[in-house]
Structure formats: C-alpha cells, structure tokens
A and B are shown apart, each in its own frame.
Chain A
Amino acid sequence: MSDALTLDNLSKTFPVGKSLFGAATASVKAVHPITLSVRKNETLGIVGESGCGKSTLARMLVGLLPPSTGSIQIEGAALNNADPADFGKRIQYVFQDPISSLNPRKTIRQIMEAPLKQLHGMVKPERDKRIAEIFASVNLREEFLERYPHEFSGGQAQRIGIARALAAKARILILDEPVSALDVSVQAQVLNLLADLKKEFDLTYLFISHDLAVVEAVSDRIAVLYFGSVVELGPAEVVFANPRHPYTKLLADSAPVVGRPLTAPEAKGTELPNPLDPPPGCAFAARCPHATDQCRTQIPVLEDTESGTQVACFYPLADT
C-alpha cells in the first residue's frame, strides 16, 4: 500500500512572551519533530491528553498553522504551504464543536457552496447536483439546506460538518475529536457514518481523540502522543492490549472499564512537564515508575519492537 500522507520532521514551536521590541523571549515546543506516514485508506488514530499537541498537529496538517520545521507530502507530492486552496482540495478538517464550526448567519446551502465555488469553481447547477449527492451520502434531508445552523442538534450539525469536508473532494480527512461533543447514542451514528463514507469515497482518516475506546474501535493503527512527541505507534489491536510504553499502559489502565475495580493507577500528581522548561530527557520520566538516570538525561526515539509496534522508550515493557 502506498502512503497517502507523509510527515517529515514536522514540528511547531510557538514564541512566548514579548520583549519591548516584539521579539519573543522564550519558545514552547508544542509539537516535537514527527516523522510519520499514513497509508492509503487507513485510519490512523492519534490519542493523547489535553496539552499533548494533537490539535496543533492537526492544524498544521490542514494548513491553518505553518509548521516550524519539516514538510507534509500528500500522495508523494509536497504541499504548497502558501496556498490554502492547495490544501483544501487535498486534505480537509472536521471540527470538534459542530455548531461553532458553522457560521450562525449563513444558511447550510451557503456553507456547503463555499468549497465547491472557491476550490472547484463549479457553476450553480453543478453545485446543486453535487450538494444533493453529498447530502444523500451523509443521510441528511435536502430541506435542511435552507435552514440556519442553530436549528440543528449536535449530531446533525456534525453531519453537515462532514458533508462540507466531503464537498472539497479531499481524499484525506483530519477528524479532530469529531464525536467528543456528542451523546453516546449519536456518537455511534456518526462513527458508523464515517466508516461508510470511507468505503464509499476511498478516504484516508486521521482520527484524533482523547477517548481510547473510540480510537481503538475505529482505527487501523494508533499513535500515542505525549508532550508533543509520538511515544508509541502500532496496530490498533496491539497498542492498548499490549502496551510497551509506560505512558500507554497508564492510559489503558486509567480508562474506566466495566468490571474492573476502581484503583488510581498513579498516586502522584500527574501534571504535564512545564513546556517553558522541558525536561532534558524523556518527558514522561518524572511520572514513570521505571525511570533511570538515562531516561532523565537522554531523549528516547521511536524504535521497532518485536510485537510490531514502535516505541520511544529505553526500557519498553514486556508482554503482559
């Protein structure tokens, strides 16, 4: 299988603080250099807790944020960082909050027409036909087109958000917490819709979420993000079932599961390291029960393990 999306050394550093003349006095590395590829028709899940850099990564991938270093390639061709339309036609984004991603003063038809008009230069009859097609595939009635966003429930609004992303005809969708604002019964509807659309339109997904169970249920491979770096990457069925990185294990143990007794897997305070003053070695060392001096001074890189996953740890956990 060929790669749909390749990230080469992609990173983002934000300047922080300002001196008198506007020069930044410090910087925060939100995303450490990431090299990663997503295969065609694959769903790559990205999990991590708040502050781990997953949204920054997503915004770089769709061109809303310029990367500090590195490059993005789609189907082998480099993306033009300067041209938003170039991004829009090849990679699209589904937002977390379905309602606030729709302009409250535009009708759904106006919202749906924008990508068709701006990215593909379609004329009116062509646009109407295409919108009808897309609405049929996301199970929305065409009468919704004349309404305004506030008239919709979260689930319907998220379908509209997905429809808009599909309208751009991009082959890759970045799904940034697409169901975390929805109720469970509606969440399942949207997840299943996404699975159907993927088959129908031959799509590739990057599915970002903090919900381990949801990510596991939809992904082929999962990347675990901690403090801006990928700490573990592997097939979905292996990553949480057989975690190699102590952080992945902590995540898996923390998720509430029916039938597991309630124990706090970690007694210490669990705050992320201070991004203004990052630790010199492994970012997880301060929380890790197995940390050694090596962990506190050197940064581990992603390496293959025998179970088919890659892990960035000097002392990966053994089989459980």
Chain B
Amino acid sequence: MMAFLTLLARNRLAMAGGIVLSLVILLVLLTPILPLADPDVTDTGNRFKPPFSEGALLGTDHLGRDLLSRLLWGTQLSLAVGFSAAIIAATLGAAIGIIAGFYGGRTDNIIMRGVDMLMAFPYILLALAIVAALGPGLFNALIAVAAVNVPFFARNIRGITVGIAHKEFVDAARLAGMSNARIILTEVLPNVIPVIIIAMSTTIGWMILETAGLSFLGLGSQPPQADLGSMLGEARSALITNPHTSIVPGVMILIIVMSINLLGDGVRDALDPRLKSGALSRPMAATMVKREAPAPTSEGKGLLEAQELQTQFHVKDRVYRAAGGVSLHVEKGECLGIIGESGSGKSVTALSVMGLVASPPGVITGGAVRYEGKDLIGVPYKQLRDMRGRNVAYIFQDPLATLHPLYRVGDQLIEAIRSHRPIGKEEGRAKAIELLEAVRIPNAAKRITDYPHEMSGGMRQRVGIAMALANDPDVIIADEPTTALDVTVQAQILALLDDLRKSRGLAIVFITHDFGVVAQLCDRVAVMYAGRIVEEGQTADILDNPRHPYTARLMACVPELGEGKRRLEAIPGLPPVVDKLPAGCAFADRCDKVQDACRQGDIPLERNGARAVRCLFPETPLKEAAE
C-alpha cells in the first residue's frame, strides 16, 4: 500500500489531479453546512444576474436561482451518481466477467455473447432506450449509465480471470478441497481486484460525463433539482446572451473529469505490474558503459577475449554485481563452456560482450571485451550494431520467444541477412534455403514459408541456429540452447553445433548448467559462481579432477545415468545474492573446508597453464596438477 502511494506521488500530474479532486469532494461534502441560498427558490426579478454581483457570487440563472448554490448541490449530485454508477457497473461487470472466465465453456459462451450484444449498440442509444423504458429520472439515468458500462468491465475482467483460472495455484486450491465459490472468492478475486480498480479509475470520469449527457437531454435529474448536466441543459437557450450560466457548470465538469482522469492514469501506472517492472522505460540500444578504471591492456589472447569484465545492475539504491570481473577467451574453432547455476552471471557475461544487457538497469563498469584485439566496450553504437550478428552471433534458450510469431521463418532469415548487406528477393530466398539446409531441416524449400508456431521446438531451435549463421559470424555465443528441448532433440542440436564448428571453424561459447553437455561438446570450461570464475581448464581435466570445492560438489550433485537408485550429494544453503557479496570467497558459507582465511579479502584466480582456480585450499593443489 505504501509502495503504491509513493509510486503515485511520483507522478506529478496524478498528484495534481488528486489534490483538485479532493478539494472538489471536500467542497461538496461541506455544501450542506455552507451559508448558501436555497438552490431551488426562484426569483424571476433577479434573473441572469452576472457573476460577482451582490448576494450571488456566481450570478443567477434564468429563474433567478443562485448559481453558486446550484453548482455545489449539483456537483454533489453528479459526483454521487457517477461514483455509484461506477461501483455498480464494476461490481456487476466483475461478477459476470469472473464467472464467465472461471467456468469457461458454454457458460462463458452464453454470457459473453449476451455482453457482445449489449456492446453492439451505441452506448447513448442504449442508455436512451433504458431511460425511455424506465421513464426519466436521475435514478433511472444511473441505472442506464451503469448498465451501459457493465460490458466493458465484464470483458476486461473475464480476460484476466481466464489467465488466472488456469494458473497452478488454482489447481492446488482445488486439491486442497476448496469449492468453486471459495476458489473464486479467495484465490481469483484478490488477483483480479487491481484490474478492477484500474478499470474503474479510468472510467469514472466517463460515467460522470454520460450522466451529465442524459441530464442535459432532460432524461436525468428533473426540475427543479440541479445536477451539472441539467444546469447545462437549462442554460442552453441563453448560451449567447448570458454565457456565464453555461460556463459555470461547464467548467466544473471539466475540472472534475480532468482531475479524475489524471488521477486514474496515475493509479493505473502505479498498479499495473507491467508498468511497474519498467516496461515503459525503453532499454537503450547498447548497454550503458561507465568504466571506473581505464581498460586493461590487451593480452592478445584468442579471437574474442573478455578481460576483468564487470557488469552491474543498478536498481534503486542497490548494486547487483552480476559479473564481477570475468576474464575469458575463445580461439577460432574452439568451444568454451561456461557452467554455472542461475544467478551465477554466466548469461550477463555473455550478453555484455555485444552490449546486449538491458540498460537501465545494466551498466558495464569495468574491464574490456576484445575482438581480434580491439576493445568493444564503449565503441559507438553503429559500430557495435555492425558487429552484432556479423562477427558475434547469439543463440538463445527459447526459440519461440526469439522468433517473431507473425513473420515466416524464411522472411526472418532474409531480414537478418539484409541488416548487414543488401540482398535481392531471389538471392535471399536461395540463401534462406541454404541456411535451413545447413542446419539439416528436412524439406527446407517448403519450410521457409512456415510460421514459428508451425514448427516443433527442435526445428525452431534449428532456425535459431540458422539465424545465427546467417552472416557467417566467427563467434557464436549459445546461451542454454538445448535446455528447453527434449533429450533426443538435444542430442541432435549438440551434434549439429559440433559439426558446424568443425566445418566452419566457428568459435563457440556454450553456456549451460549441464556437465554432460559440457563434457561432450566443449574443449575448455569455466565454472562461474556468484559472478566470478572459480575454476577454469581443459574439460577432461576439470571433470576428472575438479580443484575448486564448488566444482567438485556441484558435479557430485548431478545424477548420472547408469548409477542406479541412490542418495544424491547436495550442497546445503543457497548461493549469495550478488548485491550483498561476502568478503572473501562467495562459496565460504556452503563449503565444508572453509577456514578463517577464506573470509578475509579477495581471493585471486590462481593460474598454472590452462588451469586456474580461485581457492585457497583447493581439492588438489594447482602445482601438483601441472606435473
């Protein structure tokens, strides 16, 4: 609740709207005790007195009634009707929407077709018809306005409910023996309420206008009772001769609706989870760079090299060190594996290479990324963009999310090529087919016209790989490319990557959490923990003889096929959160060999040839290994 209010307060316009609306409401609440003239007493002798005249601050109307008094009483009535209509419409609409969305099937069909029919009429026509049937009068106008707005709520809420009704926690509630009514009230409703409030806050203003409209036509409040709409209606005939009678209620309607809409927008922005998570702040085209120290000098290692790369996420006043000084390199034709658990910084490291970490909140704060010796951190965006895909290409975990659902896969491939060099239609088609054949998609010529959803997961990932190959890159960074796939498909994709590496001399950086995959594909492997590399070396070396206790224990956690039923090794505890890293070794709290020295000061990555380990008390000392 407090978070909501602070978010709301940050929106200045919404705050202004809120203040104005509060003032109006306060004024309206005080109306009964203010020393005002009776709003309904006519005094035709004093008709059309101008504003600021004696005894009538805002003047009088065509029957000599005091406008100020009528305005305040009228505003009170209009606000009351508007709010009641909104609450009635929201309650009814939400109830209909929740029932339709929750039960689905035929119930949903019948209810929603009924709602569709209501929506098919122009709203004012429908309201007029309702008032015509019930007879004029403010209460009937209220019913009409509420009824006209029910479909809007029903549709909105139904959509949200359908999503929630299929969530696993609803199934869980069912298994806990809850009845449908109880599930609706305790599981679904609390998750729908924010949406109801958002919908209400953006429609109240509209409903006040609608009520005023009906009163203006003489179908709402009946004389002599004043509301804003009827005041406007009565002033219509004197619009030219005595404009103040129209301007006074008109300005009030403007103030109310404007302030409600501003406040409503603010409420929506503060409540909507998508907006809260920063969907409105557009990420920059390349990760922000704020290097605190000059780039380290080139060591000339490998085709692609990261040196002490540091990437942080700055969220409010917290700093998450996602990559805390990572040094890596990969040679032409080599496959480097990066292994680690979620949150270890392996993906962030990989994305930092081409400046693909979303900014805000990502910031590269130190180190260098060198491609053929040239530092890429902080180069102009145009240059970086030119290198993306052409020199370094990416393959991501979920091909369904990375392919555009509305374009044919062939067109997406051609677009990938075209972003780097102009290509004709025929040539593009031929090239797309060639790429799909290169990733062994059967019937490539026919499948380029497929949409992503028409392909299986394995086929889609092949398209993802074809896309990465489109501009003949030298380095491919594959971020868990097989995690979402079935084992039989995974085996094929891995074999395909291995073939491509051999036939094209590709350098592959393969990010994974699976030791089996690393063992089969990678030449060298780096193990990451809490944003840093803790161990590095030749794959076989590390798998046979892990030096860092984390590597050793992580490997022991992984069950391997063919070992039968058994108790697994586990690492107690959780990895540290990277905004509160302990001094010294990040693994110390979970390590069974921990000593006091482990918690004091930074522990360097000690190197010996290809092998490196960041541990004071490794499983086997590094020196012995070299012998």
Mask: chain A, 98-119; 1 = CB below 8 Å from B; 0 = not: 0011111110000100110011
Identify the closest chain A residue to B497 (Cβ): A262
B494 to chain A, nearest CB (A): 6
Complex: how many Å from CA A87 to CA B177? Answer: 8
The answer to whether the Cβ of B176 comes within 8 Å of any Cβ in the partner chain is: yes
Which residues between 547 and 595 of chain B lie within 8 Å of chain A, taking CB atoms? Answer: 553-554, 557-572, 574
Identify the closest chain B residue to A265 (Cβ): B491
Task: Identify the stretch in B209-217, B224-232, B406-414, B515-523 within 8 Å (CB) of chain A at 4 or more residues.
Answer: B515-523
| Most B CB within 10 A of own CB, among A92, A188, A189, A236 | A188
Complex: how many Å from CA A92 to CA B342? Answer: 29
Complex: how many Å from CA A118 to CA B558? Answer: 39
B616 to chain A, nearest CB (A): 21
Which residues of A are found within 8 Å of B342, using beta-carbon distances? 183
Pick the contact of B177: A101, A115, A153, A269 (CB < 8 A).
A115
- Whether the Cβ atoms of B442 and A184 lie closer than 8 Å is no
Pick the contact of B560: A195, A213, A250, A271 (CB < 8 A).
A213
Identify the closest chain A residue to B178 (Cβ): A118
- Whether the Cβ atoms of B571 and A185 lie closer than 8 Å is yes
| Most A CB within 10 A of own CB, among B458, B543, B568 | B568
- Whether the Cβ atoms of B520 and A251 lie closer than 8 Å is no
- Whether the Cβ atoms of B168 and A188 lie closer than 8 Å is no
- Whether the Cβ atoms of A258 and B178 lie closer than 8 Å is no
Identify the closest chain B residue to A154 (Cβ): B342
| Most A CB within 10 A of own CB, among B109, B176, B456, B574 | B176
The prevalent SS among residues of B at the interface is: helix
- Whether the Cβ atoms of A103 and B187 lie closer than 8 Å is yes
Pick the contact of B572: A189, A191, A220 (CB < 8 A).
A189
Question: How many B residues touch A, CB cutoff 8 Å?
Answer: 65
The answer to whether the Cβ of B487 comes within 8 Å of any Cβ in the partner chain is: yes
- Whether the Cβ atoms of B557 and A184 lie closer than 8 Å is yes
Q: A183-B341, A184-B341, A217-B566 are in contact. Are A168 and B175 (CB under 8 A)?
A: yes
B164 to chain A, nearest CB (A): 9
The answer to whether the Cβ of A132 comes within 8 Å of any Cβ in the partner chain is: no
Which residues of A are found within 8 Å of B378, using beta-carbon distances? none
- Whether the Cβ atoms of A101 and B190 lie closer than 8 Å is no
Which residues of B are found within 8 Å of A251, using beta-carbon distances? 487-488
The answer to whether the Cβ of A263 comes within 8 Å of any Cβ in the partner chain is: yes
Which residues of A are found within 8 Å of B172, using beta-carbon distances? 93, 95, 101-102, 111, 161, 164
User: What are 19 sample pairs from A and B whose C-beta atoms fall under 8 A apart?
Assistant: A63-B175, A88-B176, A103-B169, A115-B175, A161-B172, A168-B175, A189-B570, A213-B561, A214-B559, A240-B562, A252-B561, A256-B491, A256-B494, A257-B520, A258-B516, A258-B560, A262-B495, A263-B491, A270-B488
- Whether the Cβ atoms of A95 and B176 lie closer than 8 Å is no
- Whether the Cβ atoms of A155 and B574 lie closer than 8 Å is yes
The answer to whether the Cβ of A216 comes within 8 Å of any Cβ in the partner chain is: yes
- Whether the Cβ atoms of A64 and B488 lie closer than 8 Å is no
The answer to whether the Cβ of B457 comes within 8 Å of any Cβ in the partner chain is: yes
A309 to chain B, nearest CB (A): 15
B446 to chain A, nearest CB (A): 13
Which residues of A are found within 8 Å of B566, using beta-carbon distances? 217
| Most A CB within 10 A of own CB, among B167, B168, B514, B561 | B561
Pick the contact of B557: A93, A164, A187, A236 (CB < 8 A).
A187
Complex: how many Å from CA A191 to CA B567? Answer: 8
Identify the closest chain A residue to B543 (Cβ): A258
The answer to whether the Cβ of B191 comes within 8 Å of any Cβ in the partner chain is: yes
Given A115-B175, A183-B513, A253-B491, 18 other A-B residues pairs in contact with their CB atoms under 8 A: A50-B457, A50-B486, A87-B175, A88-B177, A95-B168, A102-B169, A119-B177, A161-B172, A164-B172, A216-B564, A218-B565, A256-B514, A257-B516, A258-B560, A263-B491, A264-B492, A268-B442, A271-B459
- Whether the Cβ atoms of B559 and A217 lie closer than 8 Å is yes
Which residues of B are found within 8 Å of A111, using beta-carbon distances? 172
Mask: chain B, 56-94; 1 = CB below 8 Å from A; 0 = not: 000000000000000000000000000000000000000
A-binding residues in B (CB < 8 A): 106, 109, 167-169, 171-178, 182, 186-187, 190-191, 341-342, 441-442, 456-459, 486-492, 494-496, 498, 513-517, 519-521, 543, 553-554, 557-572, 574
Which residues of B are found within 8 Å of A195, using beta-carbon distances? 567
A5 to chain B, nearest CB (A): 16
Which residues between 161 and 216 of chain A lie within 8 Å of chain B, taking CB atoms? Answer: 161, 164, 168, 183-189, 191-192, 195, 210-214, 216
B513 to chain A, nearest CB (A): 6
Mask: chain A, 79-91; 1 = CB below 8 Å from B; 0 = not: 0000011011100
Question: How many A residues touch B, CB cutoff 8 Å?
Answer: 80
- Whether the Cβ atoms of B561 and A64 lie closer than 8 Å is no
The answer to whether the Cβ of A16 comes within 8 Å of any Cβ in the partner chain is: no
The answer to whether the Cβ of A8 comes within 8 Å of any Cβ in the partner chain is: no
Complex: how many Å from CA A191 to CA B558? Answer: 11
- Whether the Cβ atoms of A270 and B492 lie closer than 8 Å is yes
Identify the closest chain B residue to A95 (Cβ): B168
B562 to chain A, nearest CB (A): 6
| Most A CB within 10 A of own CB, among B109, B458, B570 | B570
- Whether the Cβ atoms of B167 and A100 lie closer than 8 Å is yes
- Whether the Cβ atoms of A192 and B458 lie closer than 8 Å is no
- Whether the Cβ atoms of A185 and B487 lie closer than 8 Å is no
Pick the contact of B494: A89, A218, A240, A262 (CB < 8 A).
A262
Mask: chain A, 236-273; 1 = CB below 8 Å from B; 0 = not: 11001100000000111111111111111110111110
| Most A CB within 10 A of own CB, among B178, B517, B559 | B559
Which residues of A are found within 8 Å of B565, using beta-carbon distances? 216-220, 236-237
The answer to whether the Cβ of A128 comes within 8 Å of any Cβ in the partner chain is: no
Identify the closest chain B residue to A45 (Cβ): B565
- Whether the Cβ atoms of B559 and A185 lie closer than 8 Å is no
Which residues of A are found within 8 Å of B570, using beta-carbon distances? 185, 188-189, 191-192
Mask: chain A, 53-73; 1 = CB below 8 Å from B; 0 = not: 000000100111000000000
Complex: how many Å from CA A271 to CA B458? Answer: 8
Complex: how many Å from CA A93 to CA B176? Answer: 10
A115 to chain B, nearest CB (A): 4
Identify the closest chain A residue to B550 (Cβ): A185
Complex: how many Å from CA A100 to CA B561? Answer: 30
B531 to chain A, nearest CB (A): 15
Which residues of B are found within 8 Å of A255, using beta-carbon distances? 487, 516, 561
Identify the closest chain A residue to B496 (Cβ): A264
Complex: how many Å from CA A251 to CA B561? Answer: 11
Identify the closest chain B residue to A92 (Cβ): B175
Pick the contact of B458: A161, A186, A218, A270 (CB < 8 A).
A270
Which residues of A are found within 8 Å of B487, using beta-carbon distances? 49, 210, 212, 251, 254-256
Q: A191-B568, A240-B561, A259-B519 are in contact. Are A264 and B495 (CB under 8 A)?
A: yes
8 closest Cβ pairs, A-B complex: A256-B516, A118-B177, A264-B495, A188-B570, A49-B486, A115-B176, A101-B168, A217-B559
Complex: how many Å from CA A153 to CA B341? Answer: 13
Complex: how many Å from CA A155 to CA B554? Answer: 16
Complex: how many Å from CA A92 to CA B514? Answer: 31
Identify the closest chain A residue to B574 (Cβ): A153
Which residues of A are found within 8 Å of B568, using beta-carbon distances? 188, 191-192, 217
Identify the closest chain A residue to B174 (Cβ): A84
- Whether the Cβ atoms of B520 and A213 lie closer than 8 Å is no
- Whether the Cβ atoms of A114 and B173 lie closer than 8 Å is yes
Which residues of A are found within 8 Å of B521, using beta-carbon distances? 262
Pick the contact of A49: B174, B191, B488, B569 (CB < 8 A).
B488
- Whether the Cβ atoms of A216 and B561 lie closer than 8 Å is yes
Identify the closest chain B residue to A287 (Cβ): B488
Which residues of B are found within 8 Å of A191, using beta-carbon distances? 568, 570
